[in-house]
Amino acid sequence: MLKPKAPEMPARQAAARLLEAHRRRERFSPLPEGLAPRNAEEAYAIQDAFVALRSNDHGPIAGYKIALSSVAMQRFVGVDSPQAGAILRSQVRRSPARIRASDYVNLIVEFEIAVEMGDDLPAADAPFTRERVLQAVGAVTPAIEIADDRGADYSRLREHPYELIADNSWNEGAVLGEPVHDWKSLDLAQVLGVARINGKPVGEGRGDAAMGHPFEAVAWLANHLAAHGRGLPRGEFVITGSVITSKAAKAGDRIEFALGGMGKVQVAVD
């Protein structure tokens, strides 16, 4: 039998600690010394193990998210690049959707453009560019990311910049709108999105808010996966980063995100 690599056991132990923290509904906090990631690679090893554990309840990976897609957010957390997370199948919903606030410690939502893959982006073809991504896109759609920051103290994130990666970038799923297959007629960098909660506008932003263009974000994610020996296959999707600042959500809220020429996505919180 092959002896496991040294980092694997701490990553699994850290992932088990994270899973227990979620089940106990503990407030977000750094992992204990000896388990906490010291760099991005260790953090992604923990994330992989954590996602594998959660897949027992939520099914396989169906898509991916990109956190900290703006330079301002990267500086705020103290990193110099975006961060990726996985989205599991049972946590993907189609609009209109309903979720329960009681299922989360501190529910937050983000407003994004999702890109659904029509063709594979295999790891062997990396590096990927925006132009190469364009050839593989099947559809685009407005999306609302469901996330749980578990009451994190944002002022302290900079002290532990890799903990967010380890905790799968706080993802708890996504709500997707109707796929738009005729996306080539749209200027996705300039499309305007408007978010409303209980009918009241709470923010607006353009498609270029996340890494300049949604396909740039997908290229980054595909290259990130390829660096870890994985491809981005047909049928999976990427939510490309919030074009509006994240918002807290509570029971009774009715949340809507409309994108010009792309329809809207809605979620009700019970």
Phi then psi for residue 147, to 5 deg, are -140, 160
Q: How far apart are CA 168 and CA 46, in angstroms?
A: 9
Average pLDDT, the chain: 94
In this prediction, residue 210 has a pLDDT band, given cuts at 50, 70 and 90, of confident
* 68: alpha, beta or left? (left if phi > 0; alpha if psi -120 to 50): left
Cis peptide bond N-terminal to 96, omega within 30: yes
pLDDT (tens digit per residue) in 29-44: 999 999 999 999 999 9
Q: What is the pLDDT of residue 55?
A: 97
User: Cβ(166)–Cβ(14) under 8 Å?
Assistant: yes
Q: How far apart are CA 174 and CA 129, in angstroms?
A: 25
Averaged pLDDT, 207-217: 94
Beta bridge partners of 259: 193, 263
Per-residue pLDDT at 118 exceeds 60:
yes
CB contact set of 174 (below 8 Å; sequence gap of 6+) = 63, 65, 87, 91, 92, 93, 112, 114, 143, 144, 145, 146, 239
Percent of the chain at pLDDT exceeding 70: 97
Q: What is the pLDDT of residue 3?
A: 41
Q: One-letter amino acid identity for 246? A: S
Averaged pLDDT, 11-28: 96
| Residue of 79 and 57 predicted with greater confidence | 57
CATH homologous superfamily of 8-269: Fumarylacetoacetase-like, C-terminal domain (3.90.850.10)
In this prediction, residue 76 has a pLDDT band, given cuts at 50, 70 and 90, of confident
In this prediction, residue 8 has a pLDDT band, given cuts at 50, 70 and 90, of low
Its pTM surpasses 0.85: yes
**Domain range annotation of the chain:** 8-269
Q: What is the pLDDT of residue 74?
A: 78
